Each structure stands twice: as C-alpha cells, then as structure tokens.
Structure 1
Amino acid sequence: MASENSGYPRRKPDAEEGKIMNWAQNATLADSHAVSAPKTEEELCRLIAASRGKIRVMGNKMSPGRVLKLAAAGDTLLDLRHLRGLIAMDEHSATFAGSTPMHEIYEILSAEGKMLPASPGVIAAQTLAGALATGTHGQGLQQSSIADEALSIRMVLADGTVADFDRDHPFFHAVQLGVGALGIVTQVTLRTRSSLIYTCYKNAVSGDTLEQDIYDWNHNYALSKAWWFPNENQVHVWTAREADSEEIAQYRANNNDLVKQEQTSDAMNETIDQTLEHMRSDTKIVDENGKPFRTVTRFKDFSDVTGDVYQVFCRGIATPQINVEIGIPMSRVGEVIRKIKDWHSETQPHMHYPIILRCTGPSASWLSPAYGVDTCFFGFVVYYAEDGSLSEEGVSFLQAIERVLAAEGGRPHWGKYFDESLYHWPEIYPQWQAFRQVRETLDPQHKFDNAFTAALFD
C-alpha cells in the first residue's frame, strides 16, 4: 500500500469529532466551530466585510482537501447550503443560486423540457459554483465546460459588496473559473435550450487504431466517451447522436425514462472480470457489490440506450478515490496516445481502472484546461482500500502517467488531484498574468486565499 509521502493522502473514515472533512474523507478542512452558514446574501455580505481572516467555501466538499481547507485559526469556512434553488427562468436562460447542486439544476430543467447546452459531468453532487470554479465538463466537441454556458455571474467581493459580471465585462473570463480565489458566487444565469433526446451506441473495439478512432468518434457524433483498457488492448466507447422519431416515440412510451435495447453485448465481460480482479486485490473490499466495483460491472452485458443527456451520461457512482485528469489539445491527442502505448509497453504498469477519454470544444475561461482549443481529457482513477490506504502500484502509475502528460503540455483539472510542481502555469495558460491582475483588483488583501491558492498565484 502507498506510503503517506506518496503525494496522495490516506483516507480517514473515522474522522475526529468536531472536524469537517472533505467528501473523500482524506483531508480535514476545519474545526466545526470555524464554519459559518449565512441564510441570505445580505448576511453573507456582512460576514465577509467583517472578517479579518481568510475565507473559503466548502460547497459539497467534492474537491481535494487542499483546495478547500482553511489556513489558520480565525479563518472561516462557508457553508452556503441556504443559498440554493431556482431564482428565475425565461425562454432561453435560467438563474440559480450558486450553491444549488447540479443534480437539482438538471431535475428542474428537465421538468421544464430544457437542458444546458453543455453536457453534464459524470457526477452531479457538486454545487453550481463549485462546478464553475473547478472547470467541470462533459463530453463532445460541440460544447465545453459548464462555465461556458454562464451568461452572468453574481459575486460577493472581499469588501462585502456585490458585483455582477456579464459576458461583456472585462473580468468575465476570469470569473467563469476562479478556483474560489476571486469572490463568493451567489447567482449564475445559465444559457438553456429545449431538451434533446439522444441514442447512445455502446461498442467494444480494439485499441490498435485508437489514435484515429478518437478523432472520428468526436467529429462524427454529438457526444462521445471512451474507456481504454491498455492491458487488454480494448476500448469501450459510447457515441451518441440525436434520436430519430421512432426512438423518441419509444422513449415517450417509456414514461420519458431511459430506454435500454433488448440486444446486449458480452464483448467486454472478460476484460471487466480481469479489471475486477485487480480492483479487489488493490482495495481488499470484500463486498462484491461495493461501489468501486459497480463502476465497471455496468460495462458487462451492455446495450444501446435512448434518453435525455442526463439519463445517458450523468451515470457516475460517487465513491472515494484519487482522480487525476489532464487536458491535452486535440491536435496532439493521437501522438500522446502513441506515447502512452509505448510507455505502457515498456513499463507494463499495474492498472486497476481503465483510462477515461472525454473531449470538449474550446473554453473561453482563462484558467480552463480547454482554454482556446479542442481538448481531450485523459482521466485516471485509483480507489481507496478498505483500510483507507492506496495501492502502491496504483499510485506509482498515477505519478508516472501524470509526468508523461505534463511533459506534453497537459493542463490538469482544478477539481482533481495533480502534482503542481510538474507545471509552469504561465507557459500553459496564456492568460495567467491577466487572471492574477483580476485577482489583485477584486481581492487585493487575498481574503479568499488558502495555502494552495497562495502558492499558485503568489
């Protein structure tokens, strides 16, 4: 099992009383007495204006602990659970309070026959403000991150005043993805459109031609996602297009619930059984139906499906994990895949979960890993063992593969784990200095900093 100095924290399922832990329970964020839960925006403004310490927002605590945790005594961890829900809706947009969980947004929009133009992330427990702050994204070159569907963003600033940023504001593209360092997001107006129904084809294919296939899938289909199993040289791929009239009729007849085709495929079953063997060995979890195992057993006996975008793609199973995700420009993805194949062939690394491939169109957010270019996100997961430790081999794989992708100019996902020493931020983010200037303007005393953000920007 991985040592404490491996760069990834051990999970602590038995948290100390009076301590606030992040969702994965691998970091203490604050003492419970340091948490404030204002009930209104006005109360929040007064709290921030009066504060002399640092301030961070816990959201739904889905991010790594270092992003959320307080720096010292006298700092405040904000719980904004009271500032949630739908505020307004019109034909082409909807305004939500910043702490509204994404799954509530999807439910509200779906009930009105609407959707966001951005494809959803896999897990929808995070808050809207948290999704913007970390660059949450889905899959498909015709869309980008959720932040790119924001029309306006309302924030409480460090002096306790309120400011609204629309798309014409010079700071808007900094505010879209601010890593919690610019202010407290209280409202977001999102672009909406009429809900679409998709048919998603699921296939198992050889990894031999993945370098070209990844382009074809993403250019030929509205939405696409793939799981690459290098050990077995196999890829499980989902490709989705808008459903035709007959498929939509089947969906409506099924009470607008996900339709699974009767014909199933067992093409992934042997590969999944081998993956489960690795996972059980690494995690020592005895429950055959444990959450980590369910994340891959769903690939057995798979079938095509028809449903709305949330029913088809928002299918993640939330289970504590170390998740690394690095964005690579699409123009270089084929070359990077070849390098991973060569590296994998030479080193034969231990893997207990497939490589996840999701591509998006360019983002306008200055700090988005997809800023300015079509981008493919390479995702890697290691699940925690029953005792809260991590597989030594699994961690070694994460560290090695991140070094490979960082050397290729990769940009890490802000809401996941990464080794910041591998990246020279001003080189990979053209607007890095512009973002720092916005931060100095909006929060000159760095009230919204913690050790992590201070090290990044100072």
Structure 2
Amino acid sequence: MIATQTLFPRRQPHPDQSDPAILNWAKNATLAAENALQTPENEAQLQEMIAAAAGKIRFIGNRMSPGRMLALSGQKDRLVDLSRLRGVLDVGNDSVTFGAGTPLHEMFETLTAMNRMLAASPGVIDAQTLAGAISTGTHGQGMQQSSLADEALRIRLVDATGKVHEIDRQHRWFGAAQLGLGTLGAISAVTLRTRPFTLFTCFKSASNADTLAEDLNDWNAQWAFSKAWWFPDENKVHAWNAREATAEEQARWHDNHGDLVEMEATDAQMNGTVDKTLAQMRDDTRIVDDNGKPFRTVTRFKDFTDVIGDIYQIFCRGIATPQINIEIGIPMARVPAVMARIKAWHTRSHPHMHYPIILRCTGPSQAWLSPAWQEPTCFFGFVVYYAADGSLSEEGLEFLRAAERLLAEEGGKPHWGKYFDPTLYDWPALYPQWSAFQDVRRQFDPQGKFLNPFITELLA
C-alpha cells in the first residue's frame, strides 16, 4: 500500500520563499526546481525544446493535477509550461480550434461571444487549461454527452522527436490521443466541435434518498443535464436538473442583461442539513471565516432557487480551493448495487463524512483510458478540504480510503486527474485497450521521455 503521506500529502499554505521550487496549484507537492521550467512562446519553440531535451519532460498548464502526475527530480528534467499556446487558431462552420494552453474559462467566454457552445457539459472548475482537461478526462454531467475529450475533432500533438502529428477522429490512434495523461507528447492545439448557443433552465430539488438509485436513473434519462449531491447522514439528496429554456425563460435572461437569473421562490429544505455539514467542516478544517472558500461550496445549497442561464453559468460554479478529491466511475448498470452497499456500510459504520457524495453521470466515451469507455457511467465524488494549517482530518481521510476501497471492489475506475490509490486497481482488466495504449505510447515516445517515476510505475 502506498504511504498515506504520498496519497494525501500535507500542503504548504505559506511556502518557504527562500526555496524557489515549483509547486503544484494546491501547494501540496514539489514539481521541480525553479530552473527546470521552460515556457515556449509558440509551437516551433515547443518542438525545439522537446527535441533538444536530455532528460524527462512533463507538461503543465495551471498545475491542478496531483503533484505525483507532474513531479520530476533529475537535473536534466524539464517542466514545459504550455500556457502561452492559447487563443483561437481557426474557426470552422461547426468547430473552433484553440491553442492547448487556453484556460477553460477563456475558451467558454470566447465560444459564448461567438454565439456557440460545446455539447459537453463543463466540469465545475474552469481554471484548467484545455490540454490538461483533455489529458485527464475532465467531464461534466448528463447522459447526452461525455467528457470534454469526446468533443475533440482533431488533436495536434508534438512527439518525443519534436515531430508534429495531426490526429483526427478517423485516425486509428485517436482514442489514445483523447486521454493520454501527457505520455504521448505535447498537445499544442485542439479542434472542438461546437453547437449553437443555447440557454437552459435548471430546476433544483431536495428529496429523500430512499429511492436515489431509481431517481438518478430517471433524472439522467429525462433531463439534458443532471447533477446530485447525496447526504447519507441525513438521508437526503439535492439535485440540479436542466432542460432547454422556453422562449419566455430566454426573454427573462436577456432582460437580465445576460446574467444568471434566479427565480423568486426559494426553498429552505436543505438548510438544516447544510448547517450540520458546515459544522462538521469547521471542526475538520479549523477555518473560522464562515465566508471561506470551502464553506461557500456548500452554503449555496441553502435557500436554493431555480435558475436560467447558459450552461457555463449554471454548471461551471466550482470554487477552486485546495482539497483531496477522489472520483470513481461506476457503470450505470451497477449503480443500484453500489448505492445499496454504500448505504449498508454507512448504516453499519457511520463513517465521518466531511462533504456530501457528488454524483455526476455521463454517456459513453470513446477515449481508450476514460473511466466511461463505451458505457454510461456514474461518477461518485468524495471531498475533504485542507485545514488552515495545511493538514487534513484523519477521520475524513479514513472515510476517503474506505470509500475508494469499496468502489474499487465494485469495478470502479478512478478519475486520472484526481487522487487515487493505484494499488487498488488492475488496469489491464479495467481497460481493454490498455495494451493498445501502451503500444501507441511507445510509437510516440520509444525512450520514455514523457514519463516520470509515478507514471512509469502506473503504466508498468
């Protein structure tokens, strides 16, 4: 078993300024020495840097992945920052090509200004870069879509020799390139298919969780987008279900100058549950400011109301705050059995829960290493926030360990861009294309230039 400090590292809320090391976004891992960072201005410079590299290379954008995915230690190793390869590169009738370092919020704003959107629902955080989101399997919610990578029409990739490859949906290796963990090369540009800009109305509800498995299936069958938060301690569930807005609802949004419209009626059903959750979070984090970021992620469930807006205004509502986030994909066919097991475990053990279980379901993905490869999948998310001093609640972490073990035993697959214990999974058994992916990786990088110690062990 991997050591706890490796799985759930303590963060440095106030890094030593005399140590110029590069940290990840959460400040819980050192990625490399300061002089290991290279930032190409364009694709040509990126090609030159990769071709000339004498050591290992990992690619970074906003550094939001766990540190072990990015960390390097050799004197000749290099972190390549792709953040300057950004913006719109080309516009088609139903597609837009972006530089791979474009932050998601910038991409969403650009598409909205063009009166377009993606068919894929966004994840909750929009600070990621496009390349990072593609490479780790970022997804939203809704059975009529899957991951962001599944909206890609073409991926431009620089291999270990500095050669550029244009990989489109007809290419036999496209499924590998869609979610490559940064091991095939540097993504320099992505062409995404777009659809006309659409407004949605999101209906929020609170209900008893006794029939959650059936409700979850019904919501995802009936609504364009659906997301739920399960509070096992209170046996409650809070759901957001969205459909396309009516003409009258669209008019209200336009009259509100394009800002999110909150309906007049509010619902206080979740207030007591939220107050208990907030008290637990305060005990765990020892953060005294009630307006602190971790608390704002759950206080939005109080006095909730239906809303009208675009897909990004409604669902891209996450508050970026350092946390340990585990997310496990379970095939939809197995969700009822898994929920029954979680309920039985909760009744028997009364685990210490720091935050509700997040439920987001998607349609099948074509990416070979997607947890939703070729089958509808429900992602179960578990969160523990860092305390003010950078520590983590040990009871909260024990809950995370137990929850991951349970879902891994049920055939779950972890989200690659979040935290997970790799010793719990048999990758070739979970991913039928695992061997094929390894073969493609060796074609692009026969010497393992794009591997670090963790990725090497993972793929082995």
TM-score (structure 2 length as normaliser): 0.98
Q: Distance in 2 between matches of 1:360 and 1:80?
A: 29
Deviation at 1:71, TM superposition (A): 3.6
Give 1:151's match in structure 2, choosing from 150, 153, 162.
Answer: 153
Mapping 1:288-437, distance limit 5 Å: 288-437=290-439
Deviation at 1:24, TM superposition (A): 0.6
Alignment partner of 1:82 is 2:52: no
| Larger deviation, residues 201-210 vs 69-78 | 69-78
Secondary structure of the residue that 1:56 maps to in structure 2? strand
Aligned to 2:229: 227
Letter in 2 for 1:227: W
In structure 2, the gaps of 5 or more residues are none
Deviation at 1:211, TM superposition (A): 1.4
Q: Distance in 2 between matches of 1:14 and 1:299?
A: 31
Structure 1 contact 21–28 (Cα < 8 Å) conserved: yes
- The runs of at least 4 consecutive aligned structure 1 residues that moved more than 6 Å come to none
Alignment partner of 1:445 is 2:447: yes
Secondary structure of the residue that 1:14 maps to in structure 2? coil
Secondary structure of the residue that 1:448 maps to in structure 2? coil
Q: How many residues align?
A: 456
Aligned to 1:7: 7
Q: Distance in 2 between matches of 1:42 and 1:360?
A: 37
Deviation at 1:4, TM superposition (A): 5.7
Q: Distance in 1 between matches of 2:204 and 2:84?
A: 40
Mapping 1:186-335, distance limit 5 Å: 186-335=188-337
Deviation at 1:5, TM superposition (A): 3.8
Aligned to 1:72: 74
Deviation at 1:256, TM superposition (A): 1.5
Secondary structure of the residue that 2:233 maps to in structure 1? helix
Secondary structure of the residue that 2:122 maps to in structure 1? coil
Q: Distance in 2 between matches of 1:262 and 1:293?
A: 24
Deviations 1:70-119, CA, capped at 9 Å, x for gaps? 14221000112211111111220000000000110000000111000100
Letter in 2 for 1:70: L
Structure 1 contact 4–10 (Cα < 8 Å) conserved: no
TM-score (structure 1 length as normaliser): 0.98
Structure 1 contact 403–422 (Cα < 8 Å) conserved: yes
| Larger deviation, residues 12-21 vs 409-418 | 12-21
Deviations 1:15-34, CA, capped at 9 Å, x for gaps? 23311110111000011100
* Structure 1 residues 435 and 71, CA gap change in structure 2 (3 angstroms): farther
Structure 2 contact 138–148 (Cα < 8 Å) conserved: yes
Letter in 2 for 1:269: N
Deviation at 1:6, TM superposition (A): 7.3
Deviation at 1:379, TM superposition (A): 0.1
Secondary structure of the residue that 1:136 maps to in structure 2? coil
Q: Distance in 2 between matches of 1:435 and 1:4?
A: 29
Deviation at 1:274, TM superposition (A): 0.1
Alignment partner of 1:35 is 2:30: no
Letter in 1 for 2:10: R
Structure 1 contact 153–166 (Cα < 8 Å) conserved: yes
Letter in 1 for 2:9: P
Secondary structure of the residue that 1:337 maps to in structure 2? helix
Structure 1 contact 103–124 (Cα < 8 Å) conserved: yes
| Larger deviation, residues 177-186 vs 50-59 | 50-59
Mapping 1:135-174, distance limit 5 Å: 135-174=137-176
Deviations 1:315-335, CA, capped at 9 Å, x for gaps? 000000000000000011111
Identical amino acids, percent of aligned pairs: 60
Structure 2 contact 116–196 (Cα < 8 Å) conserved: yes
Secondary structure of the residue that 1:132 maps to in structure 2? helix
